[in-house]
Amino acid sequence: MKLSIHSPDELVAAIPHLLGFQPEESIVFLPLRSDLPVARVDIPTTARDREGVWGSISDAFRRYAQPGSNVGIVCLSADREQANVVGQDFAARLGNIGIGTPILLWADETRWADLDTGDMGLRTDAARETVAAATVLSGRAQPAASRESLAESLVGDREPVAALLPESRAAARENTAKVEGRWALARMQRFQHDGIRLSDADAARLLVAVESTPTRDRLWLDMNRGNAGSHVALWTDMTKRAPDEVRAAPASLLGFASWLSGHGALAWCALDQVPGDKPYALANLVAAAVQSGMHPREWEASKTLTTDRGAEALAPTRTTAPQGAMRPAHGM
């Protein structure tokens, strides 16, 4: 998403739209006209914490930095003094790897301040409304109130689909895997065309179908940056409705589609919905892509790796992201 920003007030107002939720007590790194990743982390409160955060984000910045790369740093916190210490620290670290930080801001719920010049101002409804209008016109969903509410949005009523799973499994056994795979692809394409929510029966059949790795991968390979929004809508609904036994595939597909469309926070929330009782390679791949700040364009280069074996080759064991989430940027 590209936004035209005209003031520090608008820059702070844009952050929830870029992340997908309203962050609190966070430091946010915003690339200025570059392919560097957007990153948000909880504000580190000790020098040791700052080292840990730098270790988690520095590789991605080094990977994509080009001559003249610049990043804006915004510290969202009630503690301006702490924000100044943290902001200046990370500005120096980025400078050491050739990345400039011409914007260094602090903001709380009502004010913003430039930590370099001391200029201050109020956060205004006008700036929030201007940014919100621009994101609506771009077709982007409005941000969740918090990361917790974003995660809660992926949990729905799972009983109706659970009741239909035995019947769906029995029907799938009577058909060939090829028939079920063709049906799943056609049903997904129908959703992309009409956007109508799947019936419980179709949802159960689709969730059973994508338990098959070849079928899941046919749907996975359909994803690109042009249709990622449609995939996010489909797999969000499937993840909300899927019982534990069939949730790994839709949650992983949602995570991948979210990453592909630039929603790093939603990708992490989707991965949290993957049951943790056994490893799931596609979830590992998504985690690696988000955590490393990998740009979605690199997906095209690795698109031939469509099996779990291929995913395992690309991704380490999935971990959580307690400090935050990263996503490749598309400019501001």
- pLDDT tens sequence across 270-312: 999 999 888 899 999 898 888 777 777 777 666 655 444 444 4
What whole-number distance in Å separates Cα of residue 216 and Cα of residue 103? 43
Q: Write down the pTM of the prediction.
A: 0.75
* Average pLDDT per 10 consecutive residues for the chain, totaling 332 residues: 81 90 93 81 93 90 87 96 96 95 96 95 93 75 83 95 96 93 96 95 97 95 89 96 97 94 88 92 89 74 52 42 43 36
Query: How many angstroms separate the CA atoms of 50 and 227, rounded?
Result: 38
pLDDT of 283: 94
Contact between residue 150 and residue 21 where contact means Cβ atoms under 8 Å apart = yes
Dihedral (CA of 309, 329, 268, 235) sign: negative
- Cβ contact 165:208 at 8 Å: yes
Question: With contact defined as beta carbons under 8 Å apart, do 261 and 229 qualify?
Answer: yes
pLDDT digits (tens, 9 = 90+) for 162-177: 999 999 999 999 998 9
Distances, alpha carbon 274 to alpha carbons 108, 125, 284, in Å: 34, 38, 10
Three-class SS of 218-234: HHHHCCCCCCHHHHHHH
Q: For residue 254, what are the CA distances in angstroms to 21, 265, 298?
A: 17, 12, 18
**Nearest C-alpha neighbor of 60 from the set 263, 289, 331, 314:** 289
Residue type (1 letter), 206: L
What local confidence, expressed as pLDDT, does residue 139 receive?
Answer: 61
DSSP, collapsed to helix, strand or coil, labels residue 240 as helix
Q: Which residue has the tokens 């966070």?
A: 26
In this prediction, residue 321 carries a pLDDT of 42
pLDDT for position 295: 75
Q: What are the structure tokens assigned to 143, written together?
A: 């941000």
Q: What is the pLDDT of residue 233?
A: 94
- C-beta separation of 317 from 284 below 8 A: yes
Residue found by looking up tokens 């609904």 in the block:
237
* 13: nearest Cα among 102, 151, 105, 139: 105
Token pair recorded at residue 118: 């001391």
Cα separation of 229 and 262, whole Å? 10
Q: Where are the domains of the chain?
A: 8-143, 152-328
CB-based contact 260:289 (threshold 8 Å): no
| pLDDT for the residue 143 | 82
* Tokens (6 digits) for 115: 């930590």
CA distance 303 to 314: 11
